[in-house]
Structure 1
Amino acid sequence: MPRVARQKAPEGIYHIMCKSISEVDLFKDDEDKLKYLSLVKKYQKTYQFRVYGYCLMDNHLHLIIDANGSDISRIMHSINFSYAQYFNRRHKRHGHLFQDRFKSKMVKDERYLLALSAYVHNNPTDIKGYEKEPEKYEFSSLSIYLGLRHDPYELVDDGFIMGLFGNNAQSARENYVELVFKCDDKNFREEMEFLNEGTEYRSYRRILVRDMRPEEIAEYVSMKMDVKEIKLYTKNARDVVEAKALFVLLMRSLCNFKCSDICRVLGNITNARVSKLSSTGLKLIDEDERFRGFIREFIKVYGYTECKS
């Protein structure tokens, strides 16, 4: 039977659920869960999407992702492919880890978004010891929502959903906790668990438009790095590796380009080389003070957003 086409929209907010194959847990220990969250953060920097919540259980996970103009399939493929490689290497196994494709459901309205967030954060109540205190579970974003701990990865945008409860932080948190504990209702859970596909949800938020041209990116990178633009297209130009890495990363992030698209732009380069340059670019903006805010600065100069309501 052919697969049903995945419902997608660049401005969509998605409930993502991933499960492992039946004979193996998706996460064997806390180290695995920490690794998965670090990969979500890594690719958040690449694709500039937003995370509104998460919960990692032993054999499955939930994410609430605002694609922010990017492609949700590309986002999740990058995260899950990297995690599966790590998992198999660490645990000395081979073969598939995830059960089929990830499941995704587009959020259809504000009410559903609130209910979904509460449902995701209610998941730890199924774990012994957390039945009455899901906020104490380390691998859920609930404690971040409630202001009980700092977000170690600066991964979650909790303000968007909590802002729907009003401007008073204390009362918003009290009302949110009450909603979380309502999620034990059987009908509520069934509605959340992918029984029906929703329609796209649009709220008053800004969406990053991903139609920047490679020529604009090349101009920006050559100016910022003080290199000749033609060198960005030159094979084996070792003196401009950093500039080329940033060029590749920006194309991947802001043009919605796949590796094959970038190969065509650069010419005479392999997918593997593009992937390596992208990783180098990501490391530069993550670890080198010279390039902090590099993507954000480019968006300010060349990019623009659309307001969805």
Structure 2
Amino acid sequence: MPRIVRVVLPNYPHHVVQRGHNRQVVFAADYDYQRYLTDLRELKDAFGVKVYAYCLMTNHVHLLLVPGDSAAGLGQLMKALAARATRYRNRIERRSGILWESRYKSSVVQSDTYLLACARYIELNPVRARMTAEAGDYAWSSYCERIGQDTGSGLLDTDPCFLALGCDHDERCERYKSFVKQGMRTDEICLIRNALQRGQLTGNKRFIDEIELVTGHRIEQRGQGRPKKNIKK
């Protein structure tokens, strides 16, 4: 079966997932997580990529990334991150071999409709996995930094949809916290998950038409609706 052609566009957000080879553990201790985030902070600037959300799970990572004017920066970032983590793991375990799946998955995300929903999906991963009761209880996602509880990492870039939530940072944080507490509908989870698994677009028909115009290629449409805007302004 031929590989799905990856759609990567400059200046568009992309939901990215990379899994451990055969779903093996890639983060075994706190330092493993810390090291990956340190590398992400350094390499995102080197390759001109913004980070809007992240969640590091035991055997995979979720990232919401925006390449700059060069779409190639996204692939370069993911390749460099994977290589550093692999060298580190092989060194401490005195082994050689593969740490990650050979190909990460990605989906271009419609900003005005799905960007915050996708960030929420990423930051609620530990809750869906029943690792924590609330998003704020998990140490290795962007949630605490986004709402101002953890300002130490300085990893996140502020996305325009988050800025639109309020007139100041406190107001934005409170509205985003309420948005996350609402949780996600099953159909919304399925839409985001399926788009990622199939390498398709996370967006509505208007967005699909827009991307087809940009790329000059037909992109398969799926039955999908617009998620309800649950954030009250």
Are 1:143 and 2:133 an aligned pair? no
CA contact (8 A) 2:20 2:100 kept: yes
Percent sequence identity over matched residues? 26
Figure out how many residues of one structure are paired with residues of the other and give that number: 199
Tell me, what secondary structure is at the counterpart of 2:107? strand
Deviation at 1:52, TM superposition (A): 0.7
After the TM superposition, which residues 105-124 of structure 1 pair with which residues of structure 2 at under 5 Å, given as runs?
105-124=107-126
Shift of 1:135: 1.1
Residue among 198, 202, 210 paired with 2:201 = 198
Check the 8 A contact 1:53/1:158 in 2, yes or no.
no
Using the TM superposition, give the Cα deviation of residue 43 of structure 1 relative to its aligned residue in structure 2, in angstroms.
Answer: 1.0
Q: Shift of the alpha carbon at 1:149?
A: 1.4
Distance in 2, matches of 1:23 and 1:163, equals 36
**Contact 2:18–2:101 (CA under 8 A) maintained in structure 1:** yes
The more displaced of 5-14 and 30-39 is: 5-14
Cα distance between partner residues in 2 of 1:177 and 1:19: 28
- Structure 2, unmatched stretches of 5+, are 208-233
Cα distance in 1 for partners of 2:69, 2:170 equals 33
The CA RMSD measured in Å over matched residues stands at 2.1
Q: Is 1:178 matched with 2:167?
A: no
In structure 1, the residue matched to 2:93 is: 91
Residue 132 of structure 2 is matched in structure 1 by 130
Equivalent-residue separation in structure 1 for 2:90 and 2:31 (angstroms) = 14
* TM-superposed deviation, 1:129: 5.9
Q: Judging changes above 3 Å, is the alpha-carbon distance between structure 1 residues 159 and 108 closer, same or farther for their aligned structure 2 residues?
A: closer
Deviation at 1:191, TM superposition (A): 1.3
Write the mapping of 1:153-302 to structure 2, written as runs, cut at 5 A: 154-158=154-158, 160-193=160-193, 194-195=196-197, 197-198=200-201
User: Deviation digits for residues 208-265 of structure 1, max 9, x if unmatched?
Assistant: xxxxxxxxxxxxxxxxxxxxxxxxxxxxxxxxxxxxxxxxxxxxxxxxxxxxxxxxxx
In 2, Cα distance between the equivalents of 1:29 and 1:126?
21
1:51–1:66 CA contact under 8 A, matched in 2: yes
Relative contact order (C-alpha < 8 Å, sep 6+): which is higher? 2
- State the SS of the aligned residue for 1:52: strand
Is the Cα–Cα contact under 8 Å of residues 52 and 161 in structure 1 kept in the other structure? no
SS in structure 2 of the partner of residue 9 of structure 1? coil
SS at match of 2:53: strand
Give, in whole Å, the separation in 1 of the partners of 2:202 and 2:148: 31
2:47–2:76 Cα contact (<8 Å) kept:
no
How far the C-alpha of 1:100 sits from its partner, in A, is 3.1
Structure 1 regions of 5+ residues with no counterpart? 202-309
Shift of 1:50: 0.9
Q: Residue 25 and residue 129 in structure 1: after superposition, are their counterparts in 2 closer, same or farther (change >3 A)?
A: closer
1:56 Cα deviation from its structure 2 partner: 0.5
**SS at structure 2 position matched to 1:15:** strand
Q: Distance in 1 between matches of 2:33 and 2:93?
A: 14
CA distance in 1, matches of 2:8, 2:182: 29
- Asked if structure 2 preserves the Cα contact closer than 8 Å seen for 1:122 and 1:181, the reply is no
Structure number with greater Rg is 1
CA 1:163–1:33: 2 relative to 1, 3 Å: same
Report the secondary structure of 2:182's partner residue.
helix
Name the SS of the counterpart of 2:65 in structure 1: strand
1:10-21 paired onto structure 2 within 5 Å:
10-21=10-21
Q: CA deviation at 1:85?
A: 1.4
Structure 1 pair 199/179, CA: closer, same or farther in 2 (3 Å)? closer
1:180 counterpart SS class: helix
Q: Which residue does 1:28 correspond to in 2?
A: 28
* In 2: Cα distance, 1:96 partner to 1:84 partner: 7
Match of 1:287 in 2: none
In structure 1, C-alpha distance between the alignment counterparts of 2:22 and 2:183, rounded to whole Å: 26
Q: Would you say the 8 A contact 2:192–2:202 is kept in 1? A: no
Counterpart-to-counterpart distance in 2, 1:171 and 1:11: 27
